[in-house]
Amino acid sequence: MARRGGLRRIGAFELINTLLMLAVCFLTLYPMWFVLVNSLNSPAQASLGTVNWFPQELSLASYSVAFNDRTLMNGFYITTLRTVIGTVVHVLFTAIIAYGMSKSSLMGRKLYLKISLITMLFSGGLIPSFILMTKLGLYDSFWVFIIPSMYTFFNMVIFMSFFRTIPDSLEESAKVDGASDYGVLFRIVLPNSMAVIATIALFSAVYHWNDYYQGVIYIHSQELLPLQTMLYKIIAENSMSFMQQQAMAQFGARLPGNSIKFASMMVATLPILIFYPFIQRYLVKGVMIGAIKG
């Protein structure tokens, strides 16, 4: 009887746990589903603000306006270019620093690590950062997206921890054959570190794609605004007049702002949602790599 009671308690616990997980999944996925359904709804249905599980009147009018908007597509181009260049530069620069930091023979290594740790925990604040970017000539420049994010201490620690797992015999053999430190890094270390490279590249790409804050603070020209910054302004400032004028010219009717907002949100979100599942497995390995001590 005691055994049966224990089995019943375990079964009830598993049931409650499953229901809680399903509830969390629903709360996580429903907002995206709501946006998708309303973006595919006809403008008239989307303007009602009703909750529908499926589109009541299927229409691609909002997507047509979004894709025909040159400003929005230019933001998509800027975001894509920023993500590609920023990810490559970040991975390369961080790997070079981490390779040097992984060597215990590096003079002043502990001091460098302490200084880097301070930069991760504390920052100068918005006003000093804005003044610095202005003095460096990065204000209203595409490179303001790339240069400040070339290095992060957290990702450097992940790289450094992984580099320590590579046998020293490989590097010693390469140096015996006459390879320099850069030769060892690019010919021996990095080719054997594809897992950690994919992990850091994922972290960096997701950051660059989703970041809107730098565009709000440091970019004034409309031509340099990333897609996420445009989406932020569309939602926060309700600046839909130009796109609605395009809708009037194309469809002979004024599309509601909500309809175009939903379509713009999906255009900004779908690429990273499609890309993410293919490399999601590297996230777990990256966390495990970062947990290695020593």
pLDDT beneath 70, residues of the chain = 1-11, 42-52, 57, 59, 61, 235-259, 278-294
pLDDT on residue 107: 84
Q: What pLDDT score was predicted for residue 293?
A: 47
CA–CA dist 81, 216 (Å, integer): 18
Tokens of 242: 């130009």
- Please give the model's pTM, rounded to 2 decimal places: 0.74
Q: Is 41 helix (H, G, I), strand (E, B) or coil?
A: strand
pLDDT at 252: 43
* pLDDT of amino acid 163: 86
pLDDT at 202: 84
pLDDT the model gives residue 89: 95
What residue has token string 């994922």? Answer: 202
- 140 Rama class: left (phi>0) / alpha (psi -120 to 50) / beta: left
Closest by CA to 262, choosing from 249, 243, 242, is: 243
Our separate counts of H helices and E strands in the chain read 15, 0
Amino acid identity at 141: S
CA angle, 270 as apex, 267 and 274 as ends, to 5°? 155
pLDDT at 128: 87
The Cα 199–Cα 205 span in angstroms is 10
